């Protein structure tokens, strides 16, 4: 006769051999990154045009090789010297010439090839390191566009900006395309986890009304995006128009004040952060594009640090008020 203890051992052994139920896939955390040319990405990675780019000063390649940089850029290249490619963060960006999509690495910028970065690069690294969930960055950015007209949100009245509409359309296009473009993510439920805004140059140098209305237009933009996607507490991070640092003129500084004031508005609640970027400006003579102050002189360190700060600000919002969808 089998003893009770023996029968119990047999039952436990059989149960241990049964397959465990599959765990539900983690939500795909999606971030909408929007703005104009500096969100498109102007940070120079390497000397794709040897006769230009100031002998490589301020490129990501030079920064990654500089011992003075310490560990800051250690993760951008592997032991063989290749640019690293993440296996947990993906990016999608439709430029005027092509659709760029795939695992996060260098090259998700407006230019052809893989020789530039924007804020998405280090933003994605920060967010990816902070979560076990997969991450998808959807970039919607076009050069020379204002919030006053091109991105004008519906609540601001007048004609809704065509690039506000395009931003929403490209987000929805990207979500609908996940099963085909990112098959490894097809089973993950989608969670819109954050909105990042990095823009302001055209409003600074547009009509006076663009500067005067910028604060309210930015508040309206965030509220309208939240309403559109039915995420009333969607975390939003605003990157400062920090070009030229403290040397910037009055128009740029007016936009900076408007951006900071918008982030402090009670209508937006606690789920918004303003990120100062003026300290990330680098001198023209230490940068690749010595005449492009409107593009941070193409300095990869500037874009890297901007993305880093935006990412940490977003993560702070998640830690204080985890996003639900």
Listed in sequence order, the DSSP H helices in the chain are 4-16, 37-40, 60-65, 120-130, 162-176, 178-181, 201-204, 208-228, 250-263, 300-320
* Interval 201-258: pLDDT, tens: 999 999 999 999 999 999 999 999 999 999 999 999 999 999 999 999 999 999 999 9
**Strands 116-117, 43-44: pairing kind:** antiparallel
| pLDDT above 50 for 324 | no
Cα gap 100→90, rounded to integer Å: 10
Whole-number Å distance between alpha carbons of 140 and 125: 19
| Extended strands (E) in 71-184 | 89-94, 99-103, 116-117, 135-141
pLDDT of residue 157: 98
pLDDT tens, position by position, 275-287: 999 999 999 999 9
Q: What is the band of 321 on the pLDDT scale with cuts at 50, 70, 90? A: low
What is the residue-averaged pLDDT of the chain?
A: 93
Report which DSSP code applies to 148.
Answer: T
What structural domains and CATH numbers belong to the chain?
A: 25-320 (3.40.50.1110)
Residues 108-155 pLDDT 10s: 999 999 999 999 999 999 999 999 999 999 999 999 999 999 999 999
């Amino acid at each position: 006769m089998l003893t009770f203890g023996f029968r119990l051992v047999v039952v436990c052994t059989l149960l241990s051999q049964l397959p465990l139920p599959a765990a539900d896939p983690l939500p795909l955390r999606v971030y909408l990154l929007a703005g104009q040319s500096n969100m498109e990405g102007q940070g120079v990675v390497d000397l794709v045009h040897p006769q230009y780019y100031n002998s490589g000063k301020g490129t990501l390649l030079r920064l990654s090789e500089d011992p003075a940089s310490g560990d800051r850029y250690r993760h951008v290249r592997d032991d063989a010297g290749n640019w690293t490619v993440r296996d947990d963060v993906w990016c999608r960006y439709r430029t005027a010439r092509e659709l760029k999509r795939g695992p996060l690495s260098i090259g998700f910028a407006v230019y052809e090839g893989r020789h530039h970065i924007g804020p998405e690069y280090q933003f994605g690294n920060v967010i990816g390191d902070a979560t076990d969930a997969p991450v998808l960055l959807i970039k919607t950015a076009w050069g020379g566009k204002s919030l006053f007209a091109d991105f004008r949100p519906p609540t601001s009245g007048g004609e809704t900006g065509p690039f506000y509409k395009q931003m929403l359309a490209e987000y929805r296009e990207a979500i609908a395309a996940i099963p085909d473009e990112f098959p490894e993510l097809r089973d993950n439920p989608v969670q819109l986890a954050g909105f990042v805004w990095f823009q302001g140059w055209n409003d600074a140098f547009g009509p006076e009304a663009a500067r005067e209305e910028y604060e309210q237009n930015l508040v309206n933009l965030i509220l309208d995006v939240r309403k559109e996607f039915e995420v009333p507490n969607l975390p939003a991070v605003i990157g400062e128009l920090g070009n030229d640092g403290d040397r910037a003129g009055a128009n740029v500084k007016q936009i900076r004040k408007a951006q900071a004031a918008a982030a402090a508005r009670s209508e937006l609640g606690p789920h918004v952060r303003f990120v100062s970027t003026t300290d990330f400006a680098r001198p023209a003579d230490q940068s690749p594009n010595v005449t492009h102050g409107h593009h941070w002189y193409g300095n990869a360190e500037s874009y890297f640090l901007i993305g880093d700060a935006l990412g940490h600000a977003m993560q702070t919002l998640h830690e204080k008020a985890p996003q639900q969808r």
